[in-house]
């Protein structure tokens, strides 16, 4: 039985009936009412109803002028890291052609989705890096139309750095539109000049997540995500202050963001807990991170590495840091199975993956890592199979098809094989 120095609190994993109903009503209203309904909801929820939600060239140029050279250079560095890794991943996905038997050729192709809507959250914080992970990676995959979308600021318009990041990441169009109304407008093709999207990606609040859930099937989605999570495995070689900082660094995302520690030994757990409390005294976002730690932070004690790995796989966390003796890291990499993204060693912090190291930060939460990885270049590609047969191939395959169809009582299916077999000149 697991020992907890600080027990985890439950996280709400499902939308409330009220939220589901509200989102359903909004989607229905917007589909029926078109752009006028989009404008009405945007005015009501964001105080924003311009003649056009599309960011124009003048706005894009103004946004660029507001950024200093240093920030533009660092954005370019991060984009190149993400682009380079996505391109390397894409190169591992090769088309296939294989002759299974004489006259029977099978294969697959990786075909990009035609149009993607990338939602970039901008509520509590202006999220620049989300554009790199969604817009830029989709373009690397070969998506023809990528629409970047972000909510307006209180005074109207998209935060300049977010707008700049979206456009330089390769967005073919940028919408200043937020929430359910944004996803609906992109899905239903309500913006002049833009085709309806085939896929929605990117994180957002509970309303955005529920809208994606309800629109799934009509369009594809990346995944359904809850509050961001971090889990650290630490042994006696870890620096307790560094571990504590990494826990609070992710907890600042929001008051419901879980931060967990698997300490190998009780002494490690208590040392980290003490550092968390000390750091909170001067932490720049303590008003958020402190609440998240108080309500959803947790510390488990593991007897050894084996137990730590088992606990981590059970937690199936979004971000998993492993701060243990360096010689143990290869074993952790080989044995851990359930995580969104893995950070090995004291120099690899979640913030690197979130912003600029090159891996994608759109990752599964709420134990979704048990069955999926995060967003990556392959998510924007449809792996579609094909087949081509000769008469010889028909003589090989058709008898099995006939027998199986007969057993299934699918007479029409059987006839399509029989007719070809007769044309192929098979001996009967």
Active site residues: 318-319
Phi, psi of 340 (to 5 degrees): -75, -50
How many beta carbons lie within 10 A of that of residue 392, not counting itself? 13
363, 85 Cβ separation under 8 angstroms: no
- Written as one string, the DSSP assignment of 15-74 is --HHHHHHHHHHHHHHHHHHHHHHHHHHHHHHS---S--B--HHHHHHHHHHS-HHHHHH
- Written as one string, the DSSP assignment of 163-182 is HHHHHHTT-SEEEE--HHHH
Mapped onto helix, strand or coil, the DSSP state of residue 236 is coil
Question: E-assigned strands of 157-289?
Answer: 173-176, 199-201, 220-221, 230-234, 259-264
Rounded CA-CA distance 256/273 in Å is 19
Nearest-Å Rg of the Cα atoms of the chain is 26
Beta bridge partner(s), residue 110? 383
- CA dihedral over 33, 215, 226, 352, signed as positive or negative: negative
23, 210 Cβ separation under 8 angstroms: yes
Residue 428 neighbours by CB under 8 Å, 6+ apart: 422
Q: End-to-end CA distance of the chain, in Å? A: 67
Nearest to 367 by CA among 336, 338, 387, 408: 338
Q: β-strand 96-101 against 145-150: which pairing, if any?
A: unpaired
């Amino acid at each position: 039985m697991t020992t907890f120095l600080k027990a985890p609190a439950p996280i709400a994993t499902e939308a409330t009936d009220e939220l589901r109903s509200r989102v359903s009503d909004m989607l229905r209203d917007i589909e029926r009412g078109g752009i006028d309904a989009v404008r009405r909801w945007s005015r009501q929820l964001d105080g924003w109803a311009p003649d056009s939600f599309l960011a124009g060239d003048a706005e894009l140029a103004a946004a660029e002028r507001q950024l200093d050279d240093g920030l533009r250079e660092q954005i370019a560095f991060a984009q190149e890291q993400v682009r380079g890794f996505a391109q390397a991943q894409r190169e591992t996905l090769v088309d296939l052609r294989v002759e299974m038997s004489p006259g029977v050729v099978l294969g697959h192709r990786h075909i990009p989705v035609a149009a993607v809507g990338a939602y970039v959250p901008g509520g509590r914080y202006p999220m620049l890096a989300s554009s790199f992970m969604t817009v830029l990676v989709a373009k690397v995959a070969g998506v023809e139309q990528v629409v970047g979308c972000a909510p307006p600021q209180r005074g109207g318009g998209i935060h300049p750095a977010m707008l700049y990041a979206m456009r330089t990441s390769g967005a073919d169009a940028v919408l200043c539109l937020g929430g359910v109304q944004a996803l609906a407008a992109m899905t239903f093709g309500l913006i002049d000049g833009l085709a309806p999207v085939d896929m929605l990606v990117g994180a957002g609040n509970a309303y955005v997540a529920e809208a994606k859930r309800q629109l799934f099937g009509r369009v594809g989605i990346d995944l359904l995500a809850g509050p961001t999570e971090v889990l650290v495995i630490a042994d006696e070689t870890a620096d307790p202050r560094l571990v504590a900082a990494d826990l609070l660094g992710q907890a600042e995302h929001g008051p419901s963001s879980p931060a967990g520690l698997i300490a190998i030994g009780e002494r490690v757990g208590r040392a980290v807990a003490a550092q968390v409390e000390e750091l909170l005294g001067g932490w720049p976002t303590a008003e958020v991170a402190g609440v998240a730690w108080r309500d959803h932070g947790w510390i488990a004690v593991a007897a050894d590495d084996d137990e730590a790995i088992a606990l981590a796989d059970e937690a199936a966390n979004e971000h998993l840091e492993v701060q243990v003796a360096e010689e143990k890291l290869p074993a952790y990499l080989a044995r851990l199975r359930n995580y969104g993204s893995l950070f090995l060693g004291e120099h690899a912090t979640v913030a690197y993956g979130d912003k600029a190291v090159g891996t994608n930060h759109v990752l599964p939460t709420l134990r979704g890592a048990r069955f999926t990885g995060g967003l990556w270049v392959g998510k924007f590609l449809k792996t579609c199979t094909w087949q081509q047969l000769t008469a010889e191939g028909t003589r090989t395959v058709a008898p099995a098809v006939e027998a199986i169809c007969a057993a299934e009582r699918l007479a029409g299916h059987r006839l399509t094989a029989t007719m070809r077999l007769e044309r192929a000149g098979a001996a009967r």
